[in-house]
Structures are given as structure tokens and as C-alpha cells.
Structure 1
Amino acid sequence: MSPVKAEDLVPHPCREQFAELDYCITSPPPWITTVVVAFQHYLVMLGTTVIIATILVPIMGGGHEEKAIVIQTILFLAGINTLLQVHFGTRLPAVMGGSFTYIYAAVAIIISPRYILFIGAPFERFVYTMRSLQGALIIAGVFQAVIGFFGIWRVFIRFLSPLAAVPFVTLSALGLFYFAFPGVAKCIEIGLPTLVLLLIFSEYASHYFAKGSFVFGRCAVLVTVIIVWIFAEILTAAGAYDERNPVTQFSCRTDRSGLIHAAPWSGSLTRSSGDTPSSARRTASP
């Protein structure tokens, strides 16, 4: 038997195995590409995180400060879960982020009649509701961990196929249009160009006009965000929203989101010494 050569043990390049695959585990992309694509993935994840907080926090009675705290908490825990997953879990290069799966259950808890006593105290209602949500999520997480650890999920996964999973995921995502698209309609001159540019860059430019382009092939979201943000900044600086209603200014202006100034790590730097946080004003007694 002839000895096995070293070059025979090296796997074939990805392009020889799959025509549309450029990188795999044994052939990672250059570090510059990795950094750019990772930042784009962070922007996508940040968008989903903001949507989750935007949906839940106002219903719970929270304001900008509470929304900033929820976003910071989700990002912090997502980082911890990602590090645990890539070192001790499946070790796949995937980012663990906020899930839309629990939104409907969370909304059902928030609108429960048990919180009707906090109608006149929105901040107290936010705190009490958040504690209830945290407890429910902890129990759900422990249940999932037990199911996976004992291998019970393997019994059920044999009866589920992609044909059964796709309709469930699709219907769950379509239900979120009720929350997401009204937000786009609040600033149609920013939201509509974003959708159109993202569709053109990701589905047409990367396949027809600039086939194989790194900018449109892998960075369509990043390019769209940069272009639309510059466009929104020009409209804001030109005074296009100075005389508009507060809802439009909050949705369209680049300096009215309220999240940066409401964040605890930056609020202490930007808030004057005579100002009082909104949460403190809500809880202070006369």
C-alpha cells in the first residue's frame, strides 16, 4: 500500500467544491474583510435589538432611558452568549442576539391585568413588568437547556422537516410587520429609500450590474446605511424637519432619537448639573 501524501490530506478549496462559496472554516477571509463584515453584522443585530426594545418598552411604561438600558442589556448578554457559544457550545461563527420568538409571549405578559394597578406610575410598572419578563425568560431558558442536554429535542426533530419549519418562521416574521412597517411609514422619505437601495444593492447590483463586487456582494447593508444616514443628516442640517410635528422629527432627524443622551454611560457626560433624570423625577416624592 502506497503511503498517503501530505497534499492528499488537505481539503480541496471551497471554489472547487461549491461554486458560490468563497470561504469555509479551513479558509477564512482576510482580516480586513472579517472586520468589515463583522461590523455589518453588528449593525443588523443592532437593528433587531432596537426593534425589540422599541416594541416592548413603551408598552411597559418606559421612556428613552429605559429603552437605552434594555438595548445595552441585550447587547451585553448577546456578547457573553456569543463568547460561550464559540468556545464551549457548537463553536460555529454565529452571533447570539435577541430573538423575536418571545415577543408575542412578552406582550401577553405586559398587557396582563395584574399590572393595571400601575397605570398612574409608569416607571414602577416598567420595573415590575421587567422583573416578571426576566423571570419568565430564565425559566424558558432553563427549560430549553434541559431539553437539549438530555437529548429530548432529537426525538421531536425527526418529525420536523424544513417544509414544516419554513411556514412557522415565515408566519412569525410576517406578524412583526404590524410593528415594524408603521415605524417606516413615520418617516417615509428615509424608510422607503432604505428599502429600495437595500433591494437594489443586495439582489440586483451584486448579481447583474457589479457581479462579484465586494461592496455590493457582502456589504450591501453597510453601504445602504451609510448612504441613507448621510441623506438623513443633510435633510436635518438643511432644516427640512424644523417645522414638522414631533413624531416626524423623532423618526426622521438624526439628532432626536434620544437613546444616546438617555444612556447612563453618556447621560452623565451630556446632562447639565441642574437636570434630573426622568426616572428620578418619576420616582421622587413631593
Structure 2
Amino acid sequence: LQTMRATQGALIVSSSIQIILGYSQLWAICSRFFSPLGMVPVVSLVGLGLFERGFPVVASCVEIGLPMLIIFVVLSQYLKHVHVRHVPILERFSLLVCIALLWVYAHILTASGAYHHTALHTQISCRTDRSNLISSALWISIPYPLQWGAPTFNADHAFGMMAAVMVSLIESTGAFKAAARLASATPPPAYVLSRGIGWQGNRYPTGWAIWHCDWLYRFC
């Protein structure tokens, strides 16, 4: 619970950067100087930073992780021009299609008994009936203020989250332009991008306001 409370506090502080840059139109000025040559390395470095966390998980179940990577690359890069009723389904929803296909594939392996004589670690990583994700999930879960207690504010957590926010600003800007391209729409103007960044930062301060009003109600 302490980790969740610290994360909430860091998100509240770091999201203020998004609000200031977004609604003050400072990000609109900055985004005019962005180009694919500068944005792609930043986003790529973020992905490479997750390399040491992602690939060990893939290696824990190679028979599912490796086909997932191969199918995703094939669908998103080589079959992206395949259209269904003039809609580029594979280009827009390649990840969702891969997840659905691999879940069916993993369930077939589990039902066919492919993991009956494997190690326990392999069964936990590969079988679809060992994680209990579906059986343990709630049908309806409604978040509420102070679910994990009052958020805590620490400088080290806040600065770490602010660094991540700065990278996500560039990534979100590229995502907005990519979404417009995939939707065959005109690229969003700079002021629209800036407002979108501001709206992204609205989530956690709004949650903080709810938390603050709840405490005022309790003590007054």
C-alpha cells in the first residue's frame, strides 16, 4: 500500500507539468520543432530501457512469446496493407489481433496437455489455467478516493516520475500524429496537440481534488 500511495503522490506532482505545458500553449511552441528524426530515438530509447524487463518474461515461455513477436511483426509491418471493407484492420489493430490469436493458441496447448510433464515454472508461465486471471477478476470494480490511503509526496519519486512524463510528452505527441495518419485525417495543429497534453495531465490532479474534498468533508 505504501508503494501505491507514493506512486499516487508522484503522479499528482508530475501531472502538473503536463497541465502547465499543455494549457499554457508552451507545448505548442515546442512541438513545432519536433521531427521524426528527433522523436524516434527518444521513443526507441524508452523501449530499449524496458528490454531487460520484457525479454526475460518472453524467455520464460518461448513457445508463446516468440510466436507473438513474429506474428506481430508480420501483421504490423508486412500485412498492414491488407484491408477489410477498405479499412486497414491489421495496421490499426495488429496488437489486439495478435493477443487474441495467441490466447487461443496458448489455450489449445494447455487443453491438449502440452505442459503436463514440464517444470512448475514453465506451467505457471505458459498455462492459461494457472494464473487465475479470469476466475479471480471482479465483474465490476469501481475506484474510489483514498482506495489505498492518502497519497504521500517524496522528492525522489516525484523527480523520477517527472522524467518519465517528459518522455511521455514526446511519445504522446508522436502518437497523436500517428493516430491522425492512421485515421486518414489531417495532422492536428500545434494548439490542439497542446490541449491534448493538458487533458492528459488532468486525470491525477482531479483525483487529488476529490481526495482533498473528501478530507475536508470528514474534518468539517
TM-score, normalising length: structure 2? 0.53
Q: Hey, what does 2:57 align to over in structure 1?
A: 183
Is the alpha carbon distance of 1:198 and 1:161 closer, same or farther for their aligned partners in structure 2, counting shifts above 3 Å?
closer
Letter in 2 for 1:186: S
Q: Distance in 2 between matches of 1:205 and 1:165?
A: 25
Is the alpha carbon distance of 1:148 and 1:216 closer, same or farther for their aligned partners in structure 2, counting shifts above 3 Å?
closer
Q: Distance in 2 between matches of 1:147 and 1:218?
A: 29
SS at match of 2:77: helix
Match of 1:139 among 13, 21, 40: 13
Q: Hey, what does 2:3 align to over in structure 1?
A: 129
Q: Hey, what does 2:194 align to over in structure 1?
A: none
**Percent identity (aligned):** 46
Match of 1:242 among 103, 108, 116: 116
User: Are 1:263 and 2:137 counterparts?
Assistant: yes
Q: Hey, what does 2:47 align to over in structure 1?
A: 173
Which residues in structure 2 correspond to 1:101-250 (within 5 Å)? Answer: 127-207=1-81, 211-213=82-84, 216=90, 218-250=92-124
Superposition deviation, residue 168 in structure 1: 1.2
Q: Distance in 1 between matches of 2:26 and 2:91?
A: 40
Q: Distance in 2 between matches of 1:234 and 1:153?
A: 49
Superposition deviation, residue 155 in structure 1: 4.5
Q: Hey, what does 1:252 align to over in structure 2?
A: 126
Q: Distance in 1 between matches of 2:30 and 2:98?
A: 41
Letter in 1 for 2:65: G
Q: Distance in 2 between matches of 1:217 and 1:159?
A: 28
Is the alpha carbon distance of 1:192 and 1:142 closer, same or farther for their aligned partners in structure 2, counting shifts above 3 Å?
same
Q: Distance in 2 between matches of 1:179 and 1:162?
A: 26
Which residues in structure 2 correspond to 1:85-100 (within 5 Å)? Answer: none
Q: Distance in 2 between matches of 1:134 and 1:185?
A: 32
Superposition deviation, residue 147 in structure 1: 2.5
5+ unaligned residues in a row in structure 2: which ranges?
141-220
Q: Hey, what does 1:114 align to over in structure 2?
A: none
Segments of 4+ moved more than 6 angstroms = none
Q: Distance in 2 between matches of 1:151 and 1:219?
A: 32
* CA-to-aligned-CA distance 1:191-225 (integer Å, 9 cap, x gap): 11122222223322344xxx445664555434433
Q: Hey, what does 1:14 align to over in structure 2?
A: none
Superposition RMSD in Å = 2.7
* CA-to-aligned-CA distance 1:137-173 (integer Å, 9 cap, x gap): 0111123212222233345445544322221111111
Is the alpha carbon distance of 1:238 and 1:201 closer, same or farther for their aligned partners in structure 2, counting shifts above 3 Å?
same
Is the alpha carbon distance of 1:152 and 1:251 closer, same or farther for their aligned partners in structure 2, counting shifts above 3 Å?
same
Q: Distance in 2 between matches of 1:129 and 1:223?
A: 34
Superposition deviation, residue 248 in structure 1: 1.3
Q: Distance in 2 between matches of 1:227 and 1:157?
A: 38
If you compute each CA radius of gyration, which structure gives the higher value, 1 or 2? 1
Is the alpha carbon distance of 1:226 and 1:169 closer, same or farther for their aligned partners in structure 2, counting shifts above 3 Å?
closer
The structure, 1 or 2, with the larger RCO (C-alpha pairs under 8 Å, 6+ apart) is: 2
Is the alpha carbon distance of 1:212 and 1:161 closer, same or farther for their aligned partners in structure 2, counting shifts above 3 Å?
closer
